[in-house]
Structure 1
Amino acid sequence: MAGAADQGVRIGLSVVVMTLKDRKAVVLTTQAEDGARVLPFGPFDPARDRTFERALRDFVTEQTGFRLGFVEQLYTFGDAGRGGASTPGRQRDVSVGYLALTSDAAEGQTHDARWDAVLDVFPWEDRRTPGADLQQALVDGLTHWAGGDDRRWARARALFALSPEHRWNEERVLERYELLYEARLVEEAWRDAGQTPPDAAPPLPGMTMGSDHRRILATGLGRLRSKLKYRPVLFDLTPNVFTLSELQAAAEAVSGLTLHKQNFRRGVERTGLVEPTGRLSSATGGRPAELFRFKGVDPQTGAAPGLSLPAQR
């Protein structure tokens, strides 16, 4: 049996580094040799690198000037035919993806590292101000793809909440992207097939990414949205002190939902996750707002709940 090297397989590490900037969820990207925006990515060398995580930290700092804090493994990506992997003579990438959160939105130290708005990559994931043109293009594209196949149309309706009996599930980011890829409604599907989309049916808007990195980012965003509800990860993205309005804006930026103000605040109070600092903020320009801070996990049990996301209907 041929070994990995004979098959042209390359093991790489990629990381979704997310934070908040100007009340937007943003992701750290760099530039590939072909000019495409990509996640920080580097090869794993078994002869040189002692662990995946150590290699990850080293090349992220080298590529972007950014030093990672806490990271967790997301998934291993290696499907044939994705990201050009089926191109003759080209190595097939098997990428181990990671998720990292930070409250540091400083610019990268290298010229091509930058923070990109996550919802500019997946505009259909922003349910706060849905654009009529985007929604119509989405419905038209999915209708054309489904044709007369009831199972396809049922899947599209459920994932994108296209009918009243279906509720939008903000966690299913990857499933929605996978469906759009299958329906050839994203640029990467045409690129990976070595084809050009027809002028009459262009892909949906959204920042394209090199290789399979939009898929990896979709996985990271879905994981983060899920974790919001059972772990206090939102505080990994926020500054040390904040107003409750700023905390709500952070939750909305990640979830893509407009949250009910009073219900969100009641939910925060019930968790006991925050405490007042005794100080006020006048940054809003209106009436000074009370500043809060994250209390941390329970010192006895180590437990800390997540936050409810009471979306407005």
Structure 2
Amino acid sequence: MDQVARPPIEIGLTAAIVTVDDQQPLILVVAGVNGDDGGDTPDGLPFGPFDPITHRTLEMGLRAWVAEQTTLKLGYVEQLYTFGDRGRHAHPGDRGPHLVSVGYLALTRPDPNAAEALALTGARWRRWYDFFPWEDWRDGRPALLDKVVLPALRRWARRPAAGSVGRRGLGPQERIRLAFGDKGGRWDEERILDRYELLYEAALVAEARRDGRTPADGAPPPSAFGASMRFDHRRILATAIARLRAKLKYRPVVFELMGREFTLTDLQRTVEAISGRHLHKQNFRRLVEAATLVEPTGTAAPPKRGRPAALFRFRREVLKERPAPGLRVGSRS
């Protein structure tokens, strides 16, 4: 029997690198470049190849090329998922190697001294809510949801082609209700990937139209649904944000984004930035005290106004005391 030639497969490493600065969650992006048609391509996440000769493990490979390309030394790193759908890096008629990308979530603290080095590489920090503007509830329910997002999804759901059930056996109306808290449903900040995939399926985001999907008549322009990213990097970013939002509740990962010493207000603002929700000050402080995640340093931060604020640090002993030390902030109802 003749052997059928199989296309080669390459392994890439894609990093969603997160920091929080000035109460804003930021994601490191690589600037778009001029495409073959003369137009600019969107920003993307940093990515590079895995070299099995040089890199003993996938994570070591990720850390090596991130340090080489951006000068950043990553702290916390965890593997997210393997993304290997056909077409994610291909062009029509492309017969090159199929690229399978291993996605990672990485956390780092703000470093103003790294800004110049980052600029030289073409990388920069961007607000992650630029890509998912409906996810930021810190000032209340985003008007974009009721003015743009939900009306467009409802129009799509009425199309005959949208009537098939999804992966969980649910129809489009029920999927919208569960993902977006529509019609009495509950908004769950961890469902960010479900929301993005619905918008992709409805051809409302730029990535879907780039892939040949057609939106319902009267659909708003893709720019109304946040900034696009190259390839499937916005899907990878949605996966990373969902993982981080969930992990806040059972692991002390937020302290990977904090300085050695911090005020409780700084800690609350960082948790709010990641989760996209406002937290009641006294309830948050009781939660922190009950979790015994921090301890006072005995010093105070210089006051911006009013009284000095007490400084705290992460109490690392908690990692030995119980298996799931986190800030169990509940989902929005």
> Could you tell me the TM-score, scaled by structure 1's length?
0.89
| Structure 1 residues 79 and 262: alpha-carbon distance in aligned structure 2, compared to 1, 3 A threshold | same
Shift of 1:121: 1.2
State the partner residue of 1:102.
Answer: 108
Instruction: Tell me, yes or no, if structure 1 residue 173 matches structure 2 residue 179.
Output: no
Equivalences, count: 309
State the partner residue of 2:38.
Answer: none
State the partner residue of 1:201.
Answer: 220
**Residues 80, 105 of structure 2: 8 Å contact kept:** yes
State the partner residue of 1:13.
Answer: 13
| Structure 1 residues 10 and 275: alpha-carbon distance in aligned structure 2, compared to 1, 3 A threshold | same
Query: 1:244 is aligned with what amino acid?
Result: L
State the partner residue of 1:76.
Answer: 82
**Residues 203, 213 of structure 2: 8 Å contact kept:** no
Give the one of 259, 262, 274 matched to 1:242. Answer: 262
Shift of 1:226: 0.6
Q: Distance in 1 between matches of 2:48 and 2:213?
A: 25
Higher deviation after alignment, 128-137 or 118-127: 128-137
**Residues 263, 310 of structure 1: 8 Å contact kept:** no
Instruction: Tell me, yes or no, if structure 1 residue 306 matches structure 2 residue 326.
Output: yes
Shift of 1:176: 1.1
Shift of 1:134: 4.6
Instruction: Tell me, yes or no, if structure 1 residue 93 matches structure 2 residue 103.
Output: no
Give the one of 221, 224, 236 matched to 2:244. Answer: 224
State the partner residue of 1:258.
Answer: 278
Give the one of 229, 233, 237 matched to 1:213. Answer: 233
Write the deviation string for residues 175-199 of structure 1: whole angstroms up to 9, x where unpaired. 1111111111111111122889988
| Structure 1 residues 186 and 243: alpha-carbon distance in aligned structure 2, compared to 1, 3 A threshold | same
Q: Distance in 1 between matches of 2:53 and 2:319?
A: 41
**Residues 200, 208 of structure 2: 8 Å contact kept:** yes
State the partner residue of 2:138.
Answer: 128
Shift of 1:126: 0.9
**Residues 258, 311 of structure 1: 8 Å contact kept:** no
Q: Secondary structure at the match of 1:153?
A: helix
Q: Secondary structure at the match of 1:42?
A: strand
Write the deviation string for residues 201-249 of structure 1: whole angstroms up to 9, x where unpaired. 3123312111111111111110000100000111111111111111111
**Residues 189, 331 of structure 2: 8 Å contact kept:** no
Q: Distance in 2 between matches of 1:281 and 1:170?
A: 32
Instruction: Tell me, yes or no, if structure 1 residue 64 matches structure 2 residue 74.
Output: no
Write the deviation string for residues 146-199 of structure 1: whole angstroms up to 9, x where unpaired. 0064820111011101122x2111111111111111111111111122889988
Q: Distance in 1 between matches of 2:324 and 2:175?
A: 35
Q: Structure 2 unaligned runs (5+)? A: 35-40, 164-169
Q: Distance in 1 between matches of 2:217 and 2:206?
A: 11
Higher deviation after alignment, 265-274 or 89-98: 89-98
Higher deviation after alignment, 289-298 or 224-233: 289-298
Q: Distance in 1 between matches of 2:308 and 2:189?
A: 33
Q: Distance in 2 between matches of 1:200 and 1:156?
A: 16
Q: Distance in 2 between matches of 1:19 and 1:47?
A: 31
Query: 2:11 is aligned with what amino acid?
Result: I
State the partner residue of 2:167.
Answer: none
Give the one of 282, 285, 289 matched to 1:269. Answer: 289
**Residues 279, 291 of structure 1: 8 Å contact kept:** yes
> Could you tell me the TM-score, scaled by structure 2's length?
0.84
After TM superposition, the structure 1 = structure 2 runs for residues 185-200 of structure 1, keeping only pairs within 5 Å, are 185-193=204-212
Query: Percent identity between the aligned chains?
Result: 47
**Residues 156, 215 of structure 2: 8 Å contact kept:** no
| Structure 1 residues 304 and 288: alpha-carbon distance in aligned structure 2, compared to 1, 3 A threshold | farther
Q: Distance in 1 between matches of 2:29 and 2:95?
A: 23
**Residues 293, 318 of structure 2: 8 Å contact kept:** no
Query: 1:85 is aligned with what amino acid?
Result: A
**Residues 8, 90 of structure 1: 8 Å contact kept:** no
Q: Distance in 2 between matches of 1:88 and 1:196?
A: 24
Q: Secondary structure at the match of 2:134?
A: helix
Q: Secondary structure at the match of 2:225?
A: coil
Q: Distance in 1 between matches of 2:218 and 2:68?
A: 40
| Structure 1 residues 93 and 192: alpha-carbon distance in aligned structure 2, compared to 1, 3 A threshold | farther
Write the deviation string for residues 72-101 of structure 1: whole angstroms up to 9, x where unpaired. 1110001124x3536221543210011111
| Structure 1 residues 29 and 74: alpha-carbon distance in aligned structure 2, compared to 1, 3 A threshold | same
Shift of 1:133: 3.9
